Structure 1
Amino acid sequence: MTGAVIAIAIVLIVVGGITASVAAYFRLQRHRADAVAMAEYRRLADEAVANQVALQGQLADLHDRVKSVESLLRSVD
Structure 2
Amino acid sequence: MNGSTIIPITIILIAFASVVAIVVSYFKLQRHRADAAALAEYRKLAEQVAAGQQAMNERLTELTDRVKAVEKLLQSVG
The TM-score normalised by the length of structure 2 is 0.96
How far the C-alpha of 1:6 sits from its partner, in A, is 1.0
Say yes or no: does 1:26 pair with 2:27: yes
1:33-73 Cα shifts (integer Å, max 9, x gaps): 00000000000000000000000000000000000011111
What is the distance in 2 between the residues matched to 1:27 and 1:3? 37
User: Which runs of 5 or more residues in structure 2 are unaligned?
Assistant: none
Matches within 5 A, 1:1-77: 1-77=2-78
What is the distance in 2 between the residues matched to 1:20 and 1:41? 31
Residue identity over aligned pairs, in percent, reads 51
What is the distance in 2 between the residues matched to 1:14 and 1:3? 18
User: Which runs of 5 or more residues in structure 1 are unaligned?
Assistant: none
Q: What SS is found at the alignment partner of 1:6?
A: helix
Structure 1 runs of 4+ with >3 Å offset: none
Matched AA of 1:64: D
State how many pairs are aligned: 77
What is the distance in 2 between the residues matched to 1:23 and 1:60? 55
